[in-house]
């Protein structure tokens, strides 16, 4: 069994390798500082009974963001005020030895769950993500993320899709 925890000192950040150095460095050098300053929150997936330093299977980070509704598709922008709030999935990564085993999907579902907690307390139109390349874009699209008109590597998962995905899960 595995569980999602807020990143803490007890997690083995040094031992994490997802094959992408910028993502590894974010976890090692930036994630905790960002959390302390309220810039973003990072959540890690660890084995249920792990002891410190707990190996990190995967992680994601979230932050609140502001969006101009005109940057959405016309269908999504309809009836929205000019400025709206959302949640940005800033980072998502799985350790190399655990990739292609459905962990990325588990993390995305957890991120959707966190979105709903925030949505229930303060609203928000959905999750946003910047895909680092076409492969990452295709990865997100299979979960219902849609490209923004001005930049296909920026994707949006509307609240309705999130609610449906979680209801079916
Ligand atoms: C991208 C990443 C988060 C996916 O996590 P994962 O646990 O390996 O993915 P899952 O097992 O949930 O994948 C489910 C399906 O997504 C697809 N998929 C997985 N990785 C993919 C990739 N890199 N590109 C495109 N599709 C991918 C596959 O269809 C896979 O199903 P399959 O294994 O039956 O073919 C992970 O591979 C990773 O950390 N990569 C390095 C960092 C990175 O690229 N992060 C994205 C930041 S924008």
Q: Which two tokens stand for residue 30?
A: 């930036």
pLDDT digits (tens, 9 = 90+) for 109-122: 999 999 999 999 99
Does the pTM surpass 0.75? The reply is: yes
| Catalytic positions, written as ranges | 140
| Residue 92, ligand 1, Cβ within 6 A | yes
Q: Is residue 79 in contact with ligand 1, taking CB distance under 6 Å?
A: no
Say if ligand 1 is within 6 A of residue 27 CB.
no
CA of 88 to the centre of ligand 1 (A): 19
- What is the Å distance from ligand 1's center to 137 Cα? 10
* pLDDT digit string, tens, across residues 61-81: 999 999 999 999 998 899 899
Q: Is the pLDDT of residue 146 over 90?
A: yes
Q: Is residue 128 within 8 Å of residue 88, measured between CB atoms? A: yes
């Amino acid at each position: 069994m595995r569980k999602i925890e807020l990143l803490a000192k007890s997690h083995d950040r040094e031992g994490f390798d997802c094959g992408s150095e910028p993502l590894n460095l974010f976890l090692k050098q930036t994630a905790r500082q960002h959390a302390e300053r309220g810039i973003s929150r990072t959540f890690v997936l660890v084995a249920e009974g792990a002891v410190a330093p707990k190996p990190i299977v995967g992680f994601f980070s979230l932050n609140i963001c502001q969006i101009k509704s005109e940057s959405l598709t016309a269908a999504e922008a309809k009836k929205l005020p000019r400025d709206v709030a959302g949640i940005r999935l800033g980072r998502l990564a799985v350790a190399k030895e655990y990739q292609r085993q459905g962990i990325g999907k588990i993390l995305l579902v957890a991120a959707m769950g966190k979105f709903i907690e925030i949505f229930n307390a303060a609203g928000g139109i959905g999750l946003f993500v910047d895909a680092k390349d076409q492969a990452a874009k295709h990865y997100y699209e299979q979960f219902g993320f849609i490209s923004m008109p001005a930049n296909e590597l920026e994707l949006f998962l509307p609240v309705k899709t999130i609610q449906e995905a979680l209801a079916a899960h």
